């Protein structure tokens, strides 16, 4: 069952919930750009694995709601459209970085034989924390 709920992190009414199984639900908020799931709770093995792999900024931005679920910033990587990630020097000074993908030219080096696009770091644009949806529009996921 999929539905929209009010985000327990930011209060936005654009939090998408997907029931993966009877025991696991994922939450992705288009209002704040944070995500969580039923396994993102202290003491869960999945939680511990995520914490080990996260960059320091993402660790600084973790938020635990009143149900014990820990929310973390999303990282979007769409090879033909672009990417969005949390960027900044600290949890107090950060925003969403959005970068557009561009088509490779004939003489561009390819990481994989089937690669058709690369991220254009010259297109990097910063968005405020609550402007995640604008970052999605910037890379073409949503209409502007």
Per-residue pLDDT of the chain (144 residues; tens, 9 = 90+): 469 999 999 999 999 999 999 989 999 999 999 999 999 999 999 999 999 999 999 999 999 999 999 999 999 999 999 999 999 999 999 999 999 999 888 777 766 677 889 899 999 999 999 999 999 999 999 877
Which pLDDT belongs to residue 126?
Answer: 98
**CA 133 and chain centroid, separation:** 11
66-100: burial string, b at 16+ Cβ within 10 Å, e else: eeebbbbbbebeeeebbbbbbbbeeeeebbbbbbb
Which pLDDT belongs to residue 107?
Answer: 74
The domain spans of the chain are 2-73, 76-138
Which pLDDT belongs to residue 111?
Answer: 67
Tokens for 94, please give them: 């950060």
Question: Which phi and psi (to 5°) does residue 46 adopt?
Answer: -60, -45
Side-chain half-sphere of 120: how many Cα atoms within 13 Å? 15
DSSP β-bridge partners for residue 90: none
Starting at the edge strand found earlier in the chain, the sheet holding 82-87 runs 76-78, 82-87, 95-103, 117-127
Q: Are 84 and 97 in contact (CB under 8 A)?
A: yes
CA distance 73 to 32: 8
Which pLDDT belongs to residue 32?
Answer: 95
């Amino acid at each position: 069952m999929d539905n929209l709920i009010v985000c327990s992190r930011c209060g936005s009414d654009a939090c998408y919930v997907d029931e993966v199984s009877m025991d696991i639900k994922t939450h992705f908020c288009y209002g704040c750009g944070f995500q969580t799931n039923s396994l993102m709770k202290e003491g869960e093995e999945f939680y511990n694995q995520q914490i080990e792999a996260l960059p320091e900024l993402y660790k600084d931005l973790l938020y635990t709601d009143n149900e014990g679920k820990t929310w973390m910033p999303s990282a979007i990587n769409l090879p033909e459209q672009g990417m969005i990630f949390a960027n900044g020097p600290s949890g107090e000074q950060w925003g969403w970085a959005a970068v557009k993908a561009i088509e490779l030219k004939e003489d561009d080096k390819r990481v994989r034989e089937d690669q058709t696009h690369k991220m254009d770091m010259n297109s990097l644009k910063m968005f405020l924390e609550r402007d995640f949806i604008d970052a999605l529009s910037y890379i073409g996921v949503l209409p502007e």
